[in-house]
Structure 1
Amino acid sequence: MTSPLSGQVPDGPASKPLAVAMIGYAFMGKAHSAAWRTVGSHFDVPPVARRVVVGRDAERTAEAAARYGWEESATDWRDVINRDDVDIVDICTPGYLHAEIAIEALKAGKHVLVEKPLANTIAESTEMVATAQEARTHGVQSMVGFNYRRVPALAHARNLIAEGRLGAIRQLRVAYLQDWLVDSESPMTWRLRKETAGSGALGDIASHALDQVQFLTGEEISEVSGRLRTFVAERPGPDGPEPVTVDDAAWITAELSGGAVATVEVSRVATGVKNGLRIEVFGERGALRFDLENLNELWFMEATGPETEQGFRRILVTEPEHPYLEAWWPQGHIIGWEHTFTHQLRDFLTSIRTGEQPQPSFEAGLQIQRVLAAVEESAAAKSAVVQVGSAAHAHQ
């Protein structure tokens, strides 16, 4: 395999822009489009050209291209990834399409960003990792899009933990709750079919929660026990009632490689919670609290002073010294959810410039896929504990 980008290190306004093709234009496509539009205005990154957006419906794809500021639209992703005027492929499709597109794009010498989860199965994820590793030897980069790593408050929390401010981490509690499927009459979508989504709340939002457990602590999840539940068994489809073949909610207990224990609860039927990713980290000398619905705030407690002075204090994460914030507004001027995608592209483009492996890598995405598979195995067998990466579910 040869890469048209081998040895190319764009740097500065005179450099030829890296041309981007985005596959998919719906929810994630809209978020990624906004990030591609703004990243160069706020960060020192290689210049980019929003070359082409790809979708199945020609008319709707053309409308999306015009609305989101792409130069053109197309309906055949295979033709697009083989074009000489495309350098980066950004995959925003449902999970069942990730592997085929990513593998072909990497083989064509294109840098690849793919939305989480990496794929729907361990087999697909493993093939993606092997292809990414080969492409890396030719200077072609790849990354999986866990955008919550780019929330400044969570990046700051990781730094505090890495600096030892909390001491040894003992336990974490993570709840990622949403309510967009509370109504049993909500219509069927691809996210509720196993063949297209892989799993339900587990792959959709537990993947984020589990990635945060590993990102914040710097440790890997080694074993899990889990339970899954589908509360609404069928939903209105285009041709009548259709069975829901994925979970609505999941409960997970996980042990980390360093000995800490994490409990993770996720749901898409939690009435009254719109997008609540709530994280608590408890160490021997301190603790942290975070809520995505107040994403500019981090609550921090140090238990090293007198008991009469201990308590959580609010950190407003808007200072230029906080992660990613040097590019935005004066202190106290908050940022929002969409900024995480801009930060993600900053890191991705910077890695392309430097030739360093961007994080999270496809290998990190595969690790999360193994954790998800272990949870599914534990839930199916009603087993207390399943080892992550065990042979029992390696075929999935």
Structure 2
Amino acid sequence: MSIRIRQSKELERRIEEKKKEKVTGKKRGRPRKNKIEEEIKNPPFKPFDETGEIPEGYIPGLLKEGSSVTDKEALEKEQERKKAQRLYELSKEREPFVQTGKEYNVMFEKLTQAELHYLMQIIHYVPYGEKPIKKDGQLLTIGDIYAIWGVHRETGRKYINKYIKLGIAEKEKSTTSKRDEYLIIKKEFWFKGNKDFKGYNSKVMEAKMEEVIESIKIQTAEYMITAQEEENKLAEEQRREPREVKKIFPLSLLGVLLGHIHFQTFFLVHNPTDVAIQEGETVHEVMASEYKSYQREGHLEFMSKIDIWRKITGKKVKDLETEQSQKLDLYFDMLKKAGALLSIEGMENRLIMHPELAFVTPHVKETDWYKAVATMFNFTKSKKNKKKNTKKQG
């Protein structure tokens, strides 16, 4: 059979099929699977953690509206879709946050007050993944970081080298400039995105953290000026040369406390991951009960001033000296004025982290206790404390 004859017969066959399609409304050939069935088998979305970043390629939606699902497997997938959709919607409403890494509590105890203080000043610049830190979408060079810290290059280099030595950070060279280098914070210390380890960790809200940092910078500058003026005046009275007032590092306290936020209550404790509120109980009931440590499993172990000082300094001191106690009080006062902490004072003092600054699990935000704590912070925020920190610290 010639090629021309074969082509003619093929053309006649196609014409005949077209006529049948017009009559029956059906196309010939292998029938396709229902689109819904295909979506059930291969969901067009990737599930993601509610505390992490939405992965690229995520498309909300699995089944068409109004479709009935009877198959067990399909029903499970439909439930997964609804959960993913709910988390997706929540993630759009939630402000961005940075998380403490798996080794955070171990690593920060190896830092001095100054090293942790300056590191805390760039926590809100950590981007998704282990990538160079950015500010407003722009890469920050090592020199830019020194400027943010307000330190000389030699001093800043010492801090950077310490972070690298401990595995907290690493440097990356610029591909466009021979001189520029960037800083990458390792995920074991801080990260932004999906959590790849089990257990609780703290989430730090970027916007609120920036407010706290700016407040601390202003308070610190005011303190240094006032304290130096007092020292100059005292030196003149005593007819001696004035001494340079020692620097203070209040953000180091906040860095320590981030690792001690109780996941149910926002109290700052030794045992932040222990269950203190059993099923069926409320925080109010637990706080109102006069339980003792030996009577209750998972009781809250509140931190004392000396416990906190040991963690800030890394020194196992037996007692706090007057100068040390005054400095710690100054740090607490500054953080409270910055809106980071709230102190409940009585026979014993209890500290609470601002739930809009840092939290452990988002589920707590749905409780009455969260609302009560947030209200207390908002109430105290409206009262302006005009008293300044002027007393010198050693």
Normalising by structure 1, what TM-score? 0.24
> Which gives a bigger RCO, structure 1 or 2 (Cα 8 Å, sep 6+)?
1
Name the larger-Rg structure.
2
Compare the two structures and name the one with the higher strand fraction. Answer: 1
